[in-house]
Amino acid sequence: MKIIADENIPFVKECFSSVGECLTCHGRKISNEILKDADALLVRSITKVDEKLLAGSNVKFVATATIGFEHIDIDYLAKNNIGFSSAPGSNANSVSEYITSAILNLADKYDFDIAKKSIGIIGVGNVGSRVEKKAKALGMKVVLNDPPLARQTGDEKYRPLKEIFDCDIITCHTPLNSDGIDKTYHLADEAFFKSLKKGAIFINSSRGKVHDTGALKNIIRTGKLTAAVLDVWENEPNIDIELLEMVDFGTPHIAGYSYDGKVAGMIMIYEAFCRHFGVEKTGKIEDFLPVPKISEIFIKNNEKKPLRFAVNSLYDIRKDDSALRQMKNEPADNRGAFFDSLRKNYPVRREFQNTTVRVDDTSLKSVFEGLGFKTTK
């Protein structure tokens, strides 16, 4: 069995070689010619999978090691009896930790009390629900917006978008829907930004096309926003350099790039592959996760900002921001490749759950646990 896989899916060759011949290449270079005699295709979000890519091939199974699958033509796969799987929730915790680091570092930069702030979460699926949990652990007032869930459940905890506009921080965690009742393409447009309260903070780590680049630049110019944080951009990897220079933190679409999340996504599509082809699975997630470099963090009694200290010890958003800002030093025709290289060569980042925080303060201990850390005295 021949398997073509994106080279940036961690351990994909090591794991899938047990069930077939696994060949890897850059996700943007996967072509119809490469797939002619392939049985399975494993991708990430940068590869558009449709009739143009698959026509005339022998592919019987497609999987994406990502939570979203807007890059996959699901209807085409179904019509041609091609199996499909994604990795829902695999990197959700990673994104919620990214948001946590962003908020803690913004609080330090602008000297505000997080517990006195409200946060509006647009999209309350695997990612948004984890952001909610961490925001509540930080003492924030949380307002949730998710029209599909509101219709499905009738639960009044899902509030209309107009109530989100009153929040101090707005963070987007939606899929990209180009049309329909739940359209999210350019959800954050000129009218959206004009509706925000003065001094709001806008964060997007969902999909680049959820925000309108021009509208976001315009609202930043007016001074209405206190801050903006972007992990996703329109036209990736050829992002708007001017917008990068305008936001407080800009990162190269790596919010979900924890090592734990990457490996979990790979294992999920491996298991789906085995089910589809009826082969025995031998790989498991424990086989591929290394011992964390930071297994313990000690919080001293005189530590002024213990939460920020602990979170930044594992993930400091400022480092990714600094790395991406080097893009402006690249020739214009090499900036897309530079963006991709930051993603391809992303350092190992482990999730909070792998680290124990030693802390005496009981109330602080509960906050750390709410953020996902293990704790002990």
pLDDT in tens, 245-287: 999 999 999 999 999 999 999 999 999 999 999 999 988 888 9
Identify the pLDDT of residue 68: 84
Q: State the pTM of this model.
A: 0.92
- Give the bridge partners for 188, in sequence order: 211
Q: How far is it, in rounded angstroms, from Cα 125 to Cα 90?
A: 12
Rounded average pLDDT over 54-69: 95
Q: CATH classification of 296-376, choosing from 3.30.1370.170, 3.30.470.20, 1.10.3720.10, 3.30.70.1150?
A: 3.30.1370.170
Domain 2-90+257-287: top CATH class? alpha beta
Rounded average pLDDT over 151-171: 98
Identify the pLDDT of residue 284: 87
Q: How far is it, in rounded angstroms, from Cα 38 to Cα 218?
A: 47
Q: Which of 130, 173, 207, 349 is catalytic?
A: 207
- Where exactly are the structural domains of the chain? 2-90+257-287, 92-250, 296-376
Identify the pLDDT of residue 164: 98
Identify the pLDDT of residue 301: 84
Cβ neighbours, 10 Å, residue 275: 13
Indicate if 173 belongs to the active site: no
Q: How far is it, in rounded angstroms, from Cα 44 to Cα 5?
A: 9
- Give the bridge partners for 296, in sequence order: 356
**What does the radius of gyration of the chain's CA atoms come to, in whole angstroms?**
21
Identify the pLDDT of residue 34: 96
pLDDT in tens, 291-323: 999 999 999 888 899 999 999 999 999 999 999
Q: Which of 130, 211, 253, 350 is catalytic?
A: 253
Q: Do domains 2-90+257-287 and 92-250 have the same CATH topology?
A: yes
Q: Which of 97, 132, 234, 236 is catalytic?
A: 236
Indicate if 151 belongs to the active site: no
Fold of 92-250: Rossmann fold (3.40.50)
Quick one: 188 exposed, middle or buried, by C-beta within 10 A (0-12, 13-18, 19+)? Answer: buried
Indicate if 26 belongs to the active site: no
